[in-house]
Amino acid sequence: MALAATTDIRSHFPALKRTHGAFPVAYFDGPGGTQVPSSVPIAMADYLYHRNSNARWPFPTSAETDRIRHQAREAMADFLGGKAEEVVFGANMTTLTYHLSRALGAEMEPDDEVVVTELDHHGNVDPWKALETERGVRVKTLPMIPEAGTLDLERFPDLLNKKTRLVALGAASNILGTLTDIPPLARMAKEVGAKVFVDAVHLAPHRRIRVEEMGCDYLACSPYKFYGPHMGVLWIKGELLETMPVPKVAPAPKTGPGRFESGTINSEGMAGTTAAVEFLCTLSGLESGTRPEKLDAVFAELPEREGALLERLWVGLADQPGVRLFGPPPTEDRAPTLSFVVDGLPAREVSARLADESGVFLSHGDFYAATVVDRLGLRPHGMVRAGVSIYTTEEEVDRVVEGVGKISSGG
């Protein structure tokens, strides 16, 4: 069966009917947060209107809340290839990562070591660097190769030793689209006894994730990057979740995900997360089968469709005068996210003009991948970023190319 047609997919997204000036809006800001299909806010509203309660009490709305929370954990377990009891929800990836860093840091000693990378969003850098001052931990950094937009993987083994306690890796760059092959790096980390944390926020909308195949111990992602609500999800390998010294109030659950979820969790967001995963499943073209099977089918075809749009965007922008593109070329396996600059113009101005003159919404700045922008020498303005999403069309890509062409040529 084939992945649903783009026109059918678009019919589920009310935001795509919005106009800006004379143009229908084309959303290329998905790397910062995608639009949502109508089923997501419907699920959230249904919860708030009819089932709103706290958990674990002996009356119907509380029981329904328990069920909705469990369904969300099951949905994300299928999405990630883990188990429902290993899925933790929180405000966002960065908050969850800080919480995890303090939990893991409680068992680290001065001069223990953590490895981070220059290619990552700082949500996967600064929570670990905080352990330098909090615990005396030494943080080592795997550098990037600026001209290639990739990590300098030949230097990775030199950063590992018996003092390495954790390696924090990004599966996909949210600014350059670079994919990092996690399994071989995870194996090297495990050989010295280190745990592995993976930031999969930018990978999750574009590739099938299976935590066991990655070889990681912890993995974070964000439903609002794959057509869901603003939440964060953290997968923690079961035995680690049960034993780590999590900062928590005494009456909170002593086992399971609840021991990591401080305070009352966002139940309506969990309902919306389930709806987002179910929406992706409906695109598989499979009339029967399990949820993992449907997700397999979607992500088996999605990279080719998104890759074709990325190549169209890359080739079109590369032909424009004064436009510089960053990251691996479309001939390589990469996420469909492209950042660029127009010489002589601040990224913010380019983004604003594209919105007003072409109706295309592209983000600008450093996208919290601040070290990448520093290494590329693009301060103070950063870059303009275009992200292909599941609802992106060829016509929208062509509008970006035409709009940038007018701007770069002085139009």
The pLDDT tens digits of the residues spanning 192-251 come to 999 999 999 999 999 999 999 999 999 999 999 999 999 999 999 999 999 999 988 999
Task: Indicate whether 188 belongs to any domain.
Answer: yes
Task: Indicate whether 1 belongs to any domain.
Answer: no
Mode of pairing for the β-strands spanning 383-387 and 363-365: antiparallel
Domain boundary among 280, 310, 334: 280
Domain boundary among 255, 280, 305: 280
Residues 143 and 163 in one domain: yes
Confidence band, pLDDT 50/70/90 cuts, at residue 79: very high
Confidence band, pLDDT 50/70/90 cuts, at residue 1: low
Residues 378 and 330 in one domain: yes
Residue by residue, DSSP assigns 237-285 as: -HHHHHHS-----TTS-SSSGGGTS-S---HHHHHHHHHHHHHHHHTT-
Helices (H), 283-391: 291-318, 347-358, 370-375
Distances (CA, A) of 214 to 108, 183, 184: 24, 5, 9
Residues 170 and 30 in one domain: no
- pLDDT 10s digits, 10-69: 999 999 999 999 999 999 999 999 999 999 999 999 999 999 999 999 999 999 999 999
Task: Indicate whether 285 belongs to any domain.
Answer: no
Residues 120 and 255 in one domain: yes
Task: Indicate whether 286 belongs to any domain.
Answer: no
Which of 236-261 are b and which e, b meaning 16 or more Cβ less than 10 Å from the residue's Cβ?
A: bbeeebeebebebeeeeeeebbbbbb
Residues 167 and 106 in one domain: yes
Strand, coil or helix: 119:
coil
Q: What domain range is 382 assigned to?
A: 6-35+291-408
Residues 50 and 174 in one domain: yes
Can you give the pLDDT at residue 2?
A: 83
- pLDDT 10s digits, 279-319: 999 999 999 999 999 999 999 999 999 999 999 999 999 99
Query: How many folded domains does the chain comprise?
Result: 2
**Eight-class DSSP state of 311:** H
Residue type, 218: Y
Task: Indicate whether 395 belongs to any domain.
Answer: yes
- pLDDT 10s digits, 306-316: 999 999 999 99
Residues 25 and 73 in one domain: no
Task: Indicate whether 329 belongs to any domain.
Answer: yes
Residues 272 and 332 in one domain: no
- Joined together, the tokens standing for residue 175 give 């600014």
Roughly what angle, to the nearest 10 degrees, separates helices 394-408 and 291-318? 30
Rounded mean pLDDT, 357-369: 98
Residues 30 and 98 in one domain: no
Residues 271 and 172 in one domain: yes
Tell which residue, 140, 144, 192, has the closest CA to residue 168: 140
Which own/partner pairs from 299-307 qualify as long-range (CB within 8 Å, at least 24 positions apart)? Answer: 299/206, 299/207, 299/208, 300/208, 301/2, 301/3, 302/3, 302/206, 302/390, 303/206, 303/207, 303/333, 305/3, 305/6, 306/206, 306/336, 306/388, 306/390, 306/392, 307/336
Rounded mean pLDDT, 139-161: 98
Number of Cβ within 10 Å of residue 110's Cβ equals 8
Confidence band, pLDDT 50/70/90 cuts, at residue 129: very high
Can you give the pLDDT at residue 28?
A: 98
Distances (CA, A) of 253 to 248, 260, 272, 349: 9, 9, 24, 50
Can you give the pLDDT at residue 133?
A: 95
- pLDDT 10s digits, 258-276: 999 988 999 999 999 999 9
Task: Indicate whether 374 belongs to any domain.
Answer: yes
Can you give the pLDDT at residue 262?
A: 87
Q: Is the pLDDT of residue 411 over 90?
A: no
Residue 379 belongs to a domain with what CATH number? 3.90.1150.10
Helices (H), 27-59: 39-50
Q: Is the pLDDT of residue 410 over 90?
A: no
Domain boundary among 232, 254, 280: 280
Contact 201, 225 (CB under 8 A): yes
Residue 127 belongs to a domain with what CATH number? 3.40.640.10
Confidence band, pLDDT 50/70/90 cuts, at residue 111: very high
Residues 222 and 318 in one domain: no
Q: What is the pTM of this model?
A: 0.97
Residues 268 and 306 in one domain: no
